[in-house]
Amino acid sequence: MVQKRSDNVKSYLKKVALFKKNEMETIREVKIEDANDILDIYNYYITNTIVTFDEEKKSLDDIKLKISEITTKYPWYVMEYDNHIVAFAYASLWKDKSAYNKSVEATVYVKAELHGKGYGKKMYKNLIDKLSKNGYHSIVGVISLPNDESIRLHEKFNFEKVAHFKEIGEKFGKKIDVGCWQLIL
């Protein structure tokens, strides 16, 4: 009897913890006020990885301008956890020709120390759902290689590799390949 009650208490506490975790984690549309947290996340990737080909840290004004420009036409979401932005995802122009109007490039970034918690998957699912509802037809993910984590994320959502550009970029004194993964909605 005591063991059964103990198991019930443990089960209840796990449910409460899960509820609290989900309660603190929110995906919502970006606001200009989120720019500072986004800046911190993005500048880490600029200075420490090949994930972005930007080489100079961005300013707060750069990020505010990017948010303003992108959100006039495309969705941009943030994940807020315990009142801090821990991830963001947005769609943007694929190519500047009218024939591409139903195609977008998708981008997702997760705070570096929070990788592996499923935030990227949640952000991408939310973004893909929104793009589908808004009538977009094609989503392209552009990935600097190697990047197994990003490849797994895209393939989890049934993106297919459609292009591989060899040594098309250079960062930190190394030539870098870039691959494109595509999802047809």
Return the domain boundaries, the chain: 25-184
In angstroms, the Cα distances linking 52 to 24, 42, 44, 45, 152 are 29, 9, 10, 7, 18
Could you tell me the two tokens for 128?
Answer: 């893909």
Tens of pLDDT, residue by residue, the chain (185 residues): 445 545 554 544 444 444 445 557 899 999 999 999 999 999 999 999 999 999 999 999 999 999 999 999 999 999 999 889 999 999 999 999 999 999 999 999 999 999 989 999 999 999 999 999 999 999 999 999 999 999 999 999 999 999 999 999 999 999 999 999 999 99
pTM of the model: 0.85
Q: 178 in helix, strand or coil?
A: strand
| 25-184 carries CATH number 3.30.360.10 | no
